[in-house]
Amino acid sequence: MRLSQAFVPTTKEAPKDAALPSHIYLVRGGFINQVASGIYNFLPFGKRVLDKIRAIIKEELDNAGAQEVQLGFVTPCELWEESGRFKKYGKELLRFKDRKENCFVLGPTHEEMMVALVRGRVNSYKQLPLNLYQINLKFRDEARPRFGLLRGREFLMKDGYSFHATYEDMEREYRLMEETYKRIFTRLGLEFRAVEADVGAIGGSASKEFMVLAQSGEDTIVLCSECEYAANVEAAKRKMPQPPTEAPEFSNFEPFYTPNLKSIEELSDFFKVHPYFFVKAVAKKAVFDENEEIVLFFLRGNDELQEVKAKNAIGADELVDVTDEELEKAGIVPGFIAPYEQECRIVLDDALKGAKGVICGGNKKDYHLIGADLSHFDEALFADIAAVKEGDLCPECGAILKLSKGIEVGHIFQLGTRYSEAMNATFLDKEGKAKPFVMGTYGIGVSRLVAAAIEQNHDEFGCIWPKEIAPYHVTIIVSNTKDEVQVAFANKLYEDLKEAGIEVVLDDRSERFGFKMKDFELIGYPYGVIVGKNLSEGKVQLVKRKSRQKIDIAKEDILKAVIEAVNQK
Ligand code: ATP
Ligand code: MG
């Protein structure tokens, strides 16, 4: 491609709302442009990157025996009514009617459509297993679309669904998909981790997320410093923490006057007792299908509530904040909440099991209770609701856990019969009995990967594409397009590289050299060749984008040098 003819509108201007490098560089580099909030066009270079990612995903999935299909993006509401998700999905599901008043949604995910496709067409265990996938648009009317391609409303997803006769077979496919995903992300040249993920309130079934490691990631992941253990903080476990110091000794269980002392920090200073020996209360309003209720969560003073774990512990759809007025109305004293004598539901963190000699709220303004003993509380009130924090110990091997940030680029899930049962999708087993399909589901954020790659690979000058997904491997920069010798040499090199199968662009634009170098860095081709003044001394320069290192190379060796650089592993 000759850049003089290419549609790659680079610009100095960053989008106003852009804070993240991928958002800034992808727009400035002319890869994408915004159409509306969370909706983007892909320009030629962006499309090339997207297609490369797509091709790698397709190749690996086809190799693993999955089959590609393409389902409608506009899906009938009836299917969503059947699965029970029409109501549940909330505002992210964009619903609309056609001219005949038929109700439709823009597919945010395709479990319903895929079950409807297989239902009635696959009737026997002999036709199983089956793994169908598509790489197709999704629409989610996200509350806060942001960060460019990382959280769009319209985005490209690979979504796969497998159908099995037994749970064992579904688990086998799940492991195969895990291996396949690892191969895909490795080929994409990304540093990633497969982490245990939240499976929701139902629990039991397994789920893993694939996280590209990047400081800007919205997800917090917990990694063991010694073993393979890795989990999303929403699902992370830990070894029960040990007391950091000797427990304080209280001779009595009694109220203690603590005027205006509410925070654990203030209380810890006041009593000279480590936060571990305090009982912290977090009040939330839990939202269920039909009702709402206040729930009080209790934790060790040095722990924080993990809201997803807390939500799952009580089977709620959502936890929302509750105001002091609402608490007071329910007879609760904000800031001084005890786990005793509460009318509403309480949940205590597992780390409080058997706690004695601790300090908790006094259910009375300005009072705490000292010498509290929680060892008599019913087992059923306890659950794992604390957020794992840096320095906690690995549940598998006991080594120190560390926190890191990640971008979720893939998700695999053992679904079971949730959809097949609800939608009455069955097959006949060996005995001729009708059984619901056992399903797995597997997603990859294809357009999100374009941005995730840049979040992980950039510097202050622009993108640094991993070679496998770079829009082109190399650009030849003609320093002075009026110099015929330079132009002729660059043209010849361009043709020779194309011939050798190298993806090459020729920057033959009549712009200043500095301008073209800036574009080279912004777009982030892995390599550049500068054809400049030194050509008269028989030399050109090879630039590595990542290190920005320039190496002089004899003009007759440059073809070989570029081919070697691009092809090296
Ligand atoms: P998130 O927690 O980031 O909102 P999710 O768990 O809701 O994502 P899934 O339903 O698991 O997403 O979808 C499969 C994949 O699709 C995700 O792993 C992610 O890579 C991608 N994805 C989800 N939502 C978006 C979005 N709004 N924009 C771009 N990609 C997305
Ligand atoms: Mg997910």
Q: What percent of the chain has pLDDT over 90?
A: 95
Closest-CA residue to 293 (of 336, 342, 349):
342
From the CA of 155, how far away is ligand 1's center (Å)?
9
CA dist., res. 87 & res. 279, Å (int): 38
Q: Per DSSP, what are the bridge partners of residue 95? A: 105
> Which residues have beta carbons under 5 A from ligand 2 (an ion)?
411
**Whose Cα sits closest to atom 21 in ligand 1?**
445
Instruction: Tell me how crowded residue 430 is: count the other CB atoms within 10 A of its CB.
Output: 9
**Whose Cα sits closest to atom 14 in ligand 1?**
443
From the CA of 157, give the closest atom in ligand 1: 16
| Widest distance between CA atoms in the chain | 95
From the CA of 449, give the closest atom in ligand 1: 20
**Whose Cα sits closest to atom 3 in ligand 1?**
408
Shortest-distance ligand to the CA of residue 138? 1
- Pinpoint the residues of the chain covered by CATH 3.30.930.10: 44-236+403-455
CA dist., res. 3 & res. 340, Å (int): 73
CA dist., res. 119 & res. 248, Å (int): 64
Q: Are 95 and 143 within 8 A, CB to CB? A: no
From the CA of 424, how far away is ligand 2's center (Å)?
25
H-only helix segments in 94-187:
111-118, 167-187
CA dist., res. 110 & res. 80, Å (int): 10
CA dist., res. 181 & res. 57, Å (int): 8
- Is it the case that residue 203 has pLDDT exceeding 80? no
Going by pLDDT thresholds of 50, 70 and 90, the confidence category of residue 290 is confident
Considering the domain delimited by 44-236+403-455, tell me its CATH architecture. Answer: 2-Layer Sandwich (3.30)
Cβ neighbours for 273, distance < 8 A, ≥ 6 positions apart: 248, 267, 359
- In tens, the pLDDT along 158-186 reads 999 999 999 999 999 999 999 999 999 99
- Is it the case that residue 58 has pLDDT exceeding 90? yes
Show the tokens assigned to 340. 């005793």
Cβ neighbours for 521, distance < 8 A, ≥ 6 positions apart: 461, 462, 545, 548
CA distances from 177 to 71, 127, 413, 490, 557 (A): 21, 20, 10, 45, 44
- In tens, the pLDDT along 506-548 reads 999 999 999 999 999 999 999 999 999 999 999 999 999 999 9
CA dist., res. 267 & res. 253, Å (int): 17
Q: If you compute the radius of gyration of the chain from its CA atoms, what whole number of angstroms results?
A: 29
CA dist., res. 215 & res. 219, Å (int): 10
Pocket of ligand 1, candidates 111, 220, 411: which has the most ligand atoms within 8 Å of its Cβ, to mutate?
A: 411
From the CA of 97, how far away is ligand 2's center (Å)?
28
pLDDT reported for residue 180: 98
Pocket of ligand 1, candidates 157, 307, 450: which has the most ligand atoms within 8 Å of its Cβ, to mutate?
A: 157
Shortest-distance ligand to the CA of residue 159? 1
Please tell me the class of the 254-383 domain. Answer: alpha beta
**Whose Cα sits closest to atom 27 in ligand 1?**
151
Average pLDDT over residues 396-413: 97
**Whose Cα sits closest to atom 1 in ligand 1?**
408
Question: Which DSSP category does 140 fall into?
Answer: -
pLDDT reported for residue 90: 86
From the CA of 142, give the closest atom in ligand 1: 27
Closest-CA residue to 232 (of 408, 409, 397, 448):
408
From the CA of 302, how far away is ligand 2's center (Å)?
29
Average pLDDT over residues 429-433: 97
Going by pLDDT thresholds of 50, 70 and 90, the confidence category of residue 289 is confident
- Pinpoint the residues of the chain covered by CATH 3.40.50.800: 472-567
**Whose Cα sits closest to atom 2 in ligand 1?**
408
Q: 148: helix, coil or strand?
A: helix
From the CA of 413, give the closest atom in ligand 1: 11
Average pLDDT over residues 201-227: 91
From the CA of 3, how far away is ligand 2's center (Å)?
39
**Whose Cα sits closest to atom 24 in ligand 1?**
151
Ligand 1-lining residues (CB < 6 angstroms): 109, 140, 142, 151-152, 155, 157, 408-411, 443, 445, 447-448
pTM: 0.94
- In tens, the pLDDT along 90-146 reads 899 999 999 999 999 999 999 999 999 999 999 999 999 999 999 999 999 999 999
From the CA of 447, how far away is ligand 1's center (Å)?
10
Is CATH 3.40.50.800 the right assignment for the domain spanning 472-567? yes
From the CA of 109, how far away is ligand 1's center (Å)?
10
- In tens, the pLDDT along 2-27 reads 999 999 999 999 999 999 999 999 99
CA distances from 141 to 105, 138, 317, 455 (A): 11, 10, 19, 24
pLDDT reported for residue 569: 76
- In tens, the pLDDT along 236-288 reads 999 999 999 888 988 899 999 999 888 999 999 999 999 999 999 999 999 99
Residues in the chain: 569
Helix (H) or strand (E) holding 217: none
